[in-house]
Amino acid sequence: MSLNHEQEQVVTYKPYMVGLLKRLHSSRAQVSISIDRDRTVYNTIILDVDGKQQLLFLDELNSETAHKKIRKGSVIHFDGRIKGVRVKFETKVLAIEDNNHIAMYRLSLPAQMLYQQRRRHYRATVLHHHLGISIPVPLKNHITGSIVDISAGGFCSRLTLSESNVIQEEQTVFDAKINLPGQSTITCDIEIRSIRHYPEQGYALVGGEFKQIEPNQKTHVERVVAMLDRDQRRTASF
């Protein structure tokens, strides 16, 4: 399932959502919103993201008319971009709060996001299956984690903070084991591409790329990705 154009990914994994929102927040990127059934678009910015409480806060709208439309329970249609890649979702206003005499809107984290990927391979989120990874390391034999999403080209896994500290970005790991649905396991070499630490939550997200993978194993991974994609879309339709 190799794709060269943008693919819309359904994101339901909360830490992944928080990570995307924090990237929007740190870049001070302007985001667009519309309110309830009104299609008028207004611009604002994210003031804060609270991953622990699963909340985000938006700055007061410049339009007084728009500000008066927002109340507790209003549905906010959100549209933002991370380095040109679109992020969309819907959520509800929990409260309108005061921040130094300027209003801000407290919103709940959405149930799901639509995130347009710019990847060579489509990456599917793991929802209802358990996928794991075992990484050989010196002295500890191996460290293990759960896979959050996977594609034919790589994966994102969740490890404890202590275990993530024994690996580093751009490190090549030989003979890593990927546990897939159906009690199947593949063994291949991987390269650690990224490590993001979330101290408040007590874990890290580790991105890896498959470096040496047999053609039949790659085909098996592609089938798993297709199955996970069907699960995502079925869940999103409810």
Q: What is the pLDDT of residues 15-39, one digit of tens each?
A: 778 888 988 898 888 899 999 998 8
Q: What mean pLDDT comes out for the span 46-62?
A: 92
CA distance 192 to 173: 8
End residue of a domain, out of 117, 134, 162: 117
Q: Are 34 and 130 in a shared domain?
A: no
Query: pLDDT by residue (tens digit) across 159-174?
Result: 999 989 889 998 999 9
Could you give the number of structural domains in the chain?
2
Q: Are 105 and 130 in a shared domain?
A: no
| 87: Cβ contacts below 8 Å, ≥ 6 apart | 20, 24, 78, 79, 80, 81, 113, 114, 115, 116
The HSE-up count of residue 22 (CA atoms within 13 Å, CB side) is 14
Q: What mean pLDDT comes out for the span 102-116?
A: 89
Is the pTM higher than 0.85? The answer reads no
Asked which of 5-14, 66-75, 206-215 is least confident by mean pLDDT, the reply is 5-14
CATH number at residue 232: 2.40.10.220
- Angle at Cα 236 formed by Cα 235 and Cα 238, nearest 5°? 70
- Angle at Cα 87 formed by Cα 232 and Cα 193, nearest 5°? 80
Q: What mean pLDDT comes out for the span 40-67?
A: 91
CA distance 4 to 45: 31
What confidence score (pLDDT) does residue 4 get? 38
Chain-centre distance for alpha carbon 5? 19
Residue 148 in this model has a pLDDT that exceeds 50: yes
Q: Are 138 and 221 in a shared domain?
A: yes
Q: Are 55 and 91 in a shared domain?
A: yes
Q: Are 130 and 165 in a shared domain?
A: yes
Q: How confident is the model at residue 232 (pLDDT cuts 50, 70, 90)?
A: low
How many residues are given for the chain?
238
Residue 82 in this model has a pLDDT that exceeds 70: yes
Residue 115 in this model has a pLDDT that exceeds 50: yes
Domain extent at residue 174: 124-236
**Position 2 in a domain:** no
Q: Are 112 and 175 in a shared domain?
A: no
CATH number at residue 43: 2.30.110.10
CA distance 82 to 33: 15
End residue of a domain, out of 117, 135, 153: 117
End residue of a domain, out of 117, 152, 185: 117
Q: Are 198 and 221 in a shared domain?
A: yes
What confidence score (pLDDT) does residue 1 get? 36
**Position 1 in a domain:** no
What confidence score (pLDDT) does residue 127 get? 72
CA distance 19 to 186: 29
| 63: Cβ contacts below 8 Å, ≥ 6 apart | 42
**Position 166 in a domain:** yes
What confidence score (pLDDT) does residue 238 get? 45
